[in-house]
Amino acid sequence: MSDKQVFRNFVNGEHTDAADGRTLDIVNPATGEVYATSPLSGQSDVDAAFAAAGSAFETWRDTTPAERQLALLRIADALESRAEQFVEREGENTGKPLAVTRVEELPVAVDQIRFFAGAARVLEGKSAGEYLSGFTSYVRREPVGVCAQVTPWNYPLMMAIWKIAPAIAAGNTLVLKPSDTTPATTAMLAELAAEFLPPGVLNVVCGDRDTGRALVTHPTPQMVSITGSERAGIEVAGAAAADVKRVHLELGGKAPVVVFADADIAAAAKAIAAAGYFNGGQDCTAATRVIAAAEVHDDFVAALAEEARQTTTGRPDEDVYYGALNNSGQLARVSGFIDRLPDTATIHNGGSRVGERGYFYAPTVVSGLAQGDEIVTDEIFGPVITVQRFAGEADAVRLANSVRYGLASSVWTRDHATAMRTSRRLDFGCVWINTHIPMVAEMPHGGFKHSGYGKDLSMYGLEDYTRIKHVMSALD
């Protein structure tokens, strides 16, 4: 055990272990081997974290937007200056390619912190006015209070920032639990942020599902925010309802990718493969459910299969497009979808594990599927792209919307009117046109239906961490 890394909780500005000494093994997905431990926190650890957050809120809530902005800007600068340390730790903990993380994740994460630093200065309510004779009314926008937050394993650092930055910008304090498999960079970020935040503003408690339940059901937080699975979101919403907590949910997705006959098939296949296999398809917005016009279906499948054959997976230090799946359970889940394919299905590339060491899975293309097949309706969260065919615009929209998720989607066509009609009718929180997966801090991210509610990023994301108070004063 002495040669293994040890990750710790960060509570009230200090590193702590679980009170009862329990730990979790942390596995490197690229090797399948245990390389670290983290605390398996219990109720007393959660109590201590919320006590720290509650105490810190009494003063943090009174800081000015300028003070909160400055703290966030300093955190962003420090993260940028130590980017390589975070890249290496993220690669070890997640199996992500270092080169991809270095270019696609760290700069974006820094930018998102800076966005919320600026956004802290422009939160406002409606202007004061006399809406009743003899009385002046105005609106105060205030922090919600202490927040409980739970992040997933697919983008550990970035998802932590999506929650931490707006919550702090709005004047809240928080207790955050990272995924049990990926605590590394979240613990590291908390330590960095403590250089610029008062003790107790940001607390990180590591653990398993039971730890998460203790956070959600704790009486202190006024808001619970989770990015995770549909199952976890339903459980959180139910638990929070018992205490009338505000809930912010970013859950699963099953993004339809509607390819019309007039689309540039070669360009679409290339871009869709990139958006479907990025991060090994472990992305709620991944372009993994293609619905192609019948007249171009076969040509598109052939072009996509060729793109898949050119897509590489491997270790973090290799020049590859994506790395390992996060854990053995996820590898088994992805493999299970392929093992249970209906007889009508055809695998055009991949469909198998890569190597015997680590949790690697080949880029896969599957066609010959019906709308009711589980691989079409359920989130795979792996490097598997399915392709169906549609007959006419109405059929395309019907197939696209006939899932319980509503997070993201895309439309591929050269015709402006077709793009506008289809984007209006797609029941998803984001519709990309002739692209898929780009995000910017200024625009909201969040879904409908079983993909949850509430927005990340943008001013909408910041407003979700505030509450509205009406103040009325008599003039006489």
Distance (Å, whole) CA 136 – CA 249 = 36
Rounded to 10 degrees, what is the CA torsion of 444, 449, 451, 453? 50
Q: What's the rounded mean pLDDT across residues 361-378?
A: 98
Helix crossing, 209-217 with 230-241: angle to 10°?
30
Q: What is the pLDDT of residue 237?
A: 95
3-class DSSP state of 223: strand
Tens digits of residue pLDDT in 258-286: 999 999 999 999 999 999 999 999 999 99
Instruction: Please check the confidence at residue 127 and state whether its pLDDT lies above 90.
Output: no
3-class DSSP state of 190: helix
Distance (Å, whole) CA 202 – CA 49 = 9
Q: What's the rounded mean pLDDT across residues 43-66?
A: 98
Q: What's the rounded mean pLDDT across residues 316-343?
A: 98
What percent of the chain is predicted at pLDDT more than 90? 98
Q: With bands split at pLDDT 50, 70 and 90, how would you rate the model's confidence at 164?
A: very high
What pTM does this model have?
0.96
Q: What's the rounded mean pLDDT across residues 229-235?
A: 94
Buried b (16+ CB within 10 A) or exposed e, 328-352: eebbebbbebbeebeeebebbbbbe
Q: With bands split at pLDDT 50, 70 and 90, how would you rate the model's confidence at 125?
A: confident
Distance (Å, whole) CA 378 – CA 337 = 9
Instruction: Please check the confidence at residue 105 and state whether its pLDDT lies above 50.
Output: yes
Mean pLDDT for all residues in the chain: 97
Instruction: Please check the confidence at residue 243 and state whether its pLDDT lies above 70.
Output: yes
Q: With bands split at pLDDT 50, 70 and 90, how would you rate the model's confidence at 404?
A: very high
Closest CA to 200 of 12, 69, 400, 465: 12
Q: What is the pLDDT of residue 192?
A: 98
Q: What's the rounded mean pLDDT across residues 242-247?
A: 95
Distance (Å, whole) CA 205 – CA 452 = 24
Q: What is the pLDDT of residue 131?
A: 94
Distance (Å, whole) CA 352 – CA 360 = 9
Question: Hey, what are 105's tokens?
Answer: 């994740």
Which residues carry out catalysis?
A: 250
Question: Hey, what are 474's tokens?
Answer: 């008599």
Q: What is the pLDDT of residue 15?
A: 97
Closest CA to 167 of 68, 265, 239, 98: 68
Instruction: Please check the confidence at residue 35 and state whether its pLDDT lies above 80.
Output: yes
All structural domains of the chain: 5-252+451-471 (3.40.605.10), 256-433 (3.40.309.10)
Q: What is the pLDDT of residue 126?
A: 77
Instruction: Please check the confidence at residue 69 and state whether its pLDDT lies above 80.
Output: yes
Instruction: Please check the confidence at residue 9 and state whether its pLDDT lies above 90.
Output: yes
Which one-letter amino acid corresponds to residue 441? A
Contacts of 133 (CB under 8 A, 6+ apart): none
Q: What is the pLDDT of residue 1?
A: 41
Helix crossing, 43-60 with 209-217: angle to 10°?
40
Instruction: Please check the confidence at residue 204 and state whether its pLDDT lies above 80.
Output: yes
Q: What is the pLDDT of residue 79?
A: 98
Q: What is the pLDDT of residue 2?
A: 52
Tens digits of residue pLDDT in 305-320: 999 999 999 999 999 9
Distance (Å, whole) CA 48 – CA 243 = 20
Which one-letter amino acid corresponds to residue 199? P
Tens digits of residue pLDDT in 92-101: 999 999 999 9
